[in-house]
Amino acid sequence: MIRKLLRKIRSYAEPKALVLLYHRVAEPHSDIWDLAVEPARFEQQLHILKNIGNVTTANELADRLIKQTLHRRSIVITFDDGYVDNYLAAKPLLEQYKLPATFFIASGNLGQHKEFWSDELDYYILFAEQVPPVFSRTINGQLVTINLDYEQRLTEDLIQKHRQWKAYKEAPPSRRAAMYYKLWELLKPLPYAEQQRELHHIREWAGLPLGSRPEYHSMSLEQVRELSANSLFTMGAHTVTHPALANHAPAFQRQEMLASQQALTQMSSREVSLLAYPYGNHTQETTLIAADTGFKAAFTTAEQVITHRTDPYQMGRFQVANWNGKEFLRRLQQWGK
């Protein structure tokens, strides 16, 4: 009993750090993965973080973890992917509050005027006004046949269902949503070229023209350069094509990490020593490749606090949703226990 109590006391006293994960500061038409925080709510969250007064950089946190000198209750702000709203909406607010942030960027999408594949899929399946009644195609060796029946035509009821759906925690509310989720699962492990080929077929099936929504684009090269010119901000690698790394061979993983690191180093003229695994997807082999490639630390999406026992190549993060200030503060207190 005494030993148990001592372990509990030590766990309370152990230095802990929280790493926050954002993706977008925007109000998108749909947000089925809970990736976006409205600008007004993001400002409320920054106001709270500023008042807490212990926001540090991802680089400093990684260095302190490696040296075993963590500060108690440090907080780090990170962004994944490189959406254009990181520059247009997040950057000015972070500058206003003088809070540092690290942007993990999928370098292959920069300046391409195109959407991430999952955003395209969202548009083609969930919000196309009219699609054929049956979809049938073999993807990654699996035959997929889906009958949409009466959902062939998009209705206001379907639009509302799809806009309210949270795909990561709720069952699909419609046949279209079930189709989206099935295709998302099949496309996620594919290499970029195969994802694009399948998207082309899905777009042709839906009868939609090739197009993209500017608000879903990644940053331009110039925007990344300007972002990195501010000492508040750090660039981190997020691979080139945003693959689920654990589904690919070691040589492919290494190339994705290294090419992203080199591209961002060239763009920012600063060392890029941090990595975030796309989707948080990795294996022990992935962490060894990250270390061998020259990264000093890497981040996952596992919701875990950072302590002196944390593996520098498996640093957890807590994804922030579109919460008001009161709810955000409650979450911080809950995570930091």
Q: What is the CATH number of the domain that holds 256?
A: 3.20.20.370
The count of structural domains within the chain is: 2
> Is residue 2's pLDDT more than 80?
no
> Is residue 138's pLDDT more than 50?
yes
Looking at the fold, whether 110 and 236 belong to one and the same domain comes out as yes
Looking at the fold, whether 175 and 67 belong to one and the same domain comes out as no
Looking at the fold, whether 153 and 267 belong to one and the same domain comes out as no
Confidence category of residue 13, pLDDT binned at 50, 70, 90: low
pLDDT at position 76 is 98
Final residue of a structural domain among 211, 235, 254:
211
Final residue of a structural domain among 156, 184, 211:
211
- Tell me if 3 is assigned to some domain: no
Q: How many CA atoms lie within 13 A of 189 on its CB side?
A: 11
- Tell me if 150 is assigned to some domain: yes
| Tokens describing residue 118 | 């999952």
> Is residue 337's pLDDT more than 90?
no
pLDDT at position 336 is 82
Looking at the fold, whether 196 and 145 belong to one and the same domain comes out as yes
pLDDT one-digit tens code per residue, 257-279 = 999 999 999 998 899 999 999 99
Looking at the fold, whether 146 and 242 belong to one and the same domain comes out as no
Looking at the fold, whether 181 and 286 belong to one and the same domain comes out as no
> Is residue 7's pLDDT more than 60?
no
Looking at the fold, whether 107 and 123 belong to one and the same domain comes out as no
Confidence category of residue 137, pLDDT binned at 50, 70, 90: very high
Final residue of a structural domain among 177, 211, 245:
211
- Tell me if 87 is assigned to some domain: yes
SS3 string of the chain? Answer: CHHHHHHHHHHHHCCCEEEEEECEECCCCCCCCCCEECHHHHHHHHHHHHHHCCEECHHHHHHHHHHCCCCCCEEEEEEEECECHHHHHHHHHHHHHCCCEEEEECHHHCCCCCECHHHHHHHHHHCCCECCCEEEEEECCEEEEEECHHHHECCHHHHHHHHHCCCCCCCCCCHHHHHHHHHHHHHCCCCHHHHHHHHHHHHHHHCCCCCCCHHHEECCHHHHHHHHHCCCEEEEECCCCCCCHHHCCHHHHHHHHHHHHHHHHHHHCCCCCEEECHHHCCCHHHHHHHHHHCCCEEECCCCCCECCCCCCCCECCEECCCCCHHHHHHHHHHHCC
The predicted model gives 71-92 an average pLDDT of 96
pLDDT one-digit tens code per residue, 52-69 = 879 999 999 999 999 999
- Tell me if 5 is assigned to some domain: no
Looking at the fold, whether 281 and 321 belong to one and the same domain comes out as yes
pLDDT at position 157 is 97
Looking at the fold, whether 191 and 121 belong to one and the same domain comes out as yes
Looking at the fold, whether 227 and 106 belong to one and the same domain comes out as yes
Which residue has better confidence, 49 or 336? Answer: 49
Which percentage of the chain shows pLDDT scores above 90? 90
pLDDT one-digit tens code per residue, 241-256 = 999 999 999 999 999 9
The predicted model gives 285-304 an average pLDDT of 97
Looking at the fold, whether 234 and 105 belong to one and the same domain comes out as yes
The predicted model gives 298-324 an average pLDDT of 97
- Tell me if 35 is assigned to some domain: yes
> Is residue 1's pLDDT more than 60?
no
- Tell me if 284 is assigned to some domain: yes
> Is residue 216's pLDDT more than 90?
yes
Confidence category of residue 4, pLDDT binned at 50, 70, 90: very low
User: What domain range is 130 assigned to?
Assistant: 117-211
